[in-house]
A and B are shown apart, each in its own frame.
Chain A
Amino acid sequence: MSDIKERSPNQLMIFGIIGGLLGIYLTFLLPLIGDKIHGTIGEIINTIAPVAGALGAICAVMWGADAVRRVAKYGLGTGVPSIGQIAMGMGIIAAMFGLAIVKKNIIAGPIVAVATASIIGFIIGWFAQNVIKMKIPVMIRCMTEIAASGTIIIIGFSAAVAGNFEFGNIVNLVFDNGIMLVVFWVGAMAILHPFNACLGPDEKQKRLLYLAGSTGAITMAIVGLAAIMTLGASGVITMLLGIVLWLIFYKKFWDEVYNDASSVVGTGLIPKTEA
């Protein structure tokens, strides 16, 4: 395993947090710029703003999938899906808390949510390690990371549907119509599927990350479909960009699979033996 070059957990964590939060904050900042610029360009900026949230969430999906990979490698005994579901469970609690508690200081919401998720994840990881005694050395760190990435995924995709991350707005456009359940479930699938599909003795990080990108992108396409209902044009862009990204990532994953697979040699038919 050591001869294969891998992205370090810290690299991916920075990628997930910075990329995720950047995407989420762009949904808030781009309209501010868009409103300043009048005319068509301003409208275009306003229309593409929610798409950034979904792109940020894809960064978090890749980070979360790697965290799932690191912890699930030890064998949880319950299957990989359980960790994707707990990630979204912790994520949704922290996301609702972070976005609601800040009231008018909307800008602080996502950061408070990520911090809360990290605390909840740390506590659950600590209990899993020290009370339930799971004997997984990376449990605490990975649980913290998974909770934080789950929160970014939830807020990112919610922002893509609602247009921004103001709690009242999200309640109206994401909770009331049940899109939250789609975000919850498809987000959980996005984070748990890559390792669930790739696990095994020849599992490689590169292949897993490409698959994580593709599950994140297909989630983005589905969320885009939901966003057409709430936001109209922005949703169409989210969906189309999601499909394009999905095709790109899936092709890369496909190439990796071919690369890693043992070579298949055509031997032809069994030669007729001469008696």
Chain B
Amino acid sequence: MVAIDPILLHILLIAISGTLICTAVHFIPVGGAPAAMAQATGIGTGTVELAAGSGLVGLITASYMYANGPAPGIPPSMVMVLAAGAMGSMVMLASTMFAGSLVYAYGVAVPFASAQVKKDPITGERQDLYMSKGTQGHGLPTICFVSGVIGAALGGAGGGLIYYVLMQIYSPYIAASAAAVAGVFTMGVFYVNAVIPSYGVGGTIEGVHDPKFRRVIGKDVITSFFVSLICGVVAVFIAQGMIA
């Protein structure tokens, strides 16, 4: 393996994790205001709220994992932190979607149907039969749920990765406050990378099966990668400023 300068590696890892968060947002079935009235498929709130909600839970679980290494003072491996982040996010988003589905099914009383595909790619059920006239689908069909859980895993892993990298950078300089500084910086990067794709998708997306997914993911990922690269450079410079 080619040896990479550790600083360069840190910057690259932050750029990759930003890109992961950006990709994650595309997987999450976001319906926005129309979905809140059960007139579009997805969860009835905004992209940023969902991505941030699940991502920040992922950040909490990732930081908990980081703080509880195999021995005091020794952090666990990167894979463990990423997995913890992904798990926290998945649990959060899955429970959000489950609770939302209960409301859609038993409160609003709509069958779950997607407007973007004729048959659910996972269950093979016909979708168009269950669509109400004048709506863009409603509820959360199986494919949306699965896509959302995958997205949450990517987002949580992305958040966990930034946190892990930042802790590696900051811990030598400010041992006690590193967690707070790394956490807040991660939140900043998270929001930037959650909003960029939400502009790309224009507010609503059903998930991986939506034709919009293929149309917008390329340019969003490019944008996110470059913006996160800048964030990575900035993060490394902050560490330089900490050297008294």
- A: residues with CB less than 8 A from B are 76-79, 81-83, 85-86, 88-94, 96-97, 99-103, 116, 120, 123-124, 127-128, 131-134, 167, 171-172, 175-176, 178, 180-181, 184
Q: A81-B48, A82-B47, A88-B191 are in contact. List 9 more A-B contacts (CB 8 A).
A: A78-B195, A96-B184, A97-B241, A100-B242, A101-B240, A102-B241, A103-B243, A127-B226, A176-B177
Flag if B238 contacts A96 (CB, 8 Å): yes
Contact of A89 among B191, B198, B216 (CB under 8 A): B191
Contact check, A181 vs B241: say whether CB atoms are below 8 A apart. no
Contact indicator A97/B219 (Cβ below 8 Å)? no
Which residue of B46, B52, B192, B244 is within 8 Å of A93 (Cβ)? Answer: B192
Q: Which residues of B sit under 8 angstroms from A81, Cβ to Cβ?
A: 46, 48-49
Q: Which residues of B contact A133 (CB under 8 A)?
A: 219
> Inside 8 A of A78's CB, which chain B residues have their CB?
32, 46-48, 195, 198-199, 202-203
Among the listed stretches B74-82, B86-94, B131-139, B227-235, which one makes contact with chain A, having 4 or more residues with CB under 8 Å of it?
Answer: B227-235
**Are the CB atoms of A89 and B32 closer together than 8 Å?**
no
A76→B52 CA distance, assembly (Å): 18
Select B191's contact among A85, A127, A131, A180, beta carbons within 8 Å. A85
Minimum C-beta distance from A254 to chain B (A): 28
Q: Report A217 CB to chain B, min CB distance, Å.
A: 24
Chain B residues closer than 8 Å to A100, beta-carbon distance: 237-238, 240-242
Kindly report which residue of chain B lies nearest to residue A120, judged by CB atoms.
Answer: B230
**A178→B192 CA distance, assembly (Å):** 20
A82-B48 in contact (CB<8A) = yes
A85 in contact with B184 given A79-B203, A101-B241, A116-B234 (CB within 8 Å): no
Collect the chain A residues with CB atoms within 8 Å of residue B188's CB.
88-93, 96
Which residues of B sit under 8 angstroms from A120, Cβ to Cβ? 227, 230, 234
Which residues of the other chain, A, contact B185 by a CB distance below 8 angstroms? 92-93, 96
A97 in complex: contacting residue of B192, B194, B234, CB < 8 Å: B234
Which residues of the other chain, B, contact A116 by a CB distance below 8 angstroms?
Answer: 234
Provide a sorted-by-A list of 20 A–B residue pairs whose CB atoms are within 8 angstroms: A76-B199, A77-B199, A77-B203, A78-B46, A81-B48, A86-B192, A91-B188, A92-B184, A92-B187, A96-B181, A97-B234, A97-B237, A100-B237, A103-B243, A127-B226, A132-B200, A167-B242, A176-B176, A180-B184, A184-B184
Complex interface: chain B residues within 8 A of A132 (CB): 196, 199-200, 216, 219-220, 223
Q: Which residues of B contact A134 (CB under 8 A)?
A: 199
User: Would B180 and A97 count as touching, CB distance under 8 A?
Assistant: no
Decide if B223 touches A171 in the complex (CB within 8 Å): no
Q: How far is the CA of A175 from the CA of B187 in the complex (A)?
A: 13
CB-CB under 8 A from B216, the residues of chain A are 132
Of residues A90, A100, A103, A167, which shows the largest number of chain B Cβ atoms within 10 Å of its Cβ?
A100
Contacts of B47 in A (CB 8 A): 78, 82
Please, which residues of chain A bring their CB within 8 A of the CB of B194? 85
Min C-beta distance of A193 to chain B, whole Å: 15
Q: What residues on B are CB-neighbors of A172 within 8 Å?
A: 177
Residues of A within 8 A of B243 (CB): 103
Q: Bound complex: CA of A101 vs CA of B241, how far in Å? A: 4
Known A82-B48, A82-B195, A89-B192; contact A131-B242, beta-carbon cutoff 8 A:
no
A171 lies within 8 A of B181 (CB): yes
B5 to chain A, nearest CB (A): 20
Name the distance in Å between A71's Cβ and chain B's nearest Cβ. Answer: 11
Kindly identify which residue among A77, A94, A175 contacts B202, using a CB–CB cutoff of 8 Å. A77
B190 contacts the other chain (CB 8 A):
yes
With beta carbons under 8 angstroms apart, the residue of A79, A93, A167 that contacts B231 is A93
Bound complex: CA of A83 vs CA of B49, how far in Å?
12
CB distance from B44 to the nearest CB of A (A): 12
Contact in complex: B227, A131 (CB < 8 Å): no
Residue B99 lies at the interface, judged by CB distance under 8 Å to chain A: no
Tell me if B52 and A175 are in contact (CB < 8 A): no
Chain A residues near B237: list those with CB within 8 A.
97, 100-101
Assess A85 versus B52: contact at CB under 8 Å? Given A77-B199, A77-B203, A132-B223: yes
> Do A181 and B195 form a contact, CB below 8 Å, given A101-B241, A102-B241?
no
Q: Bound state CA distance, A99 and B199, in angstroms?
A: 30
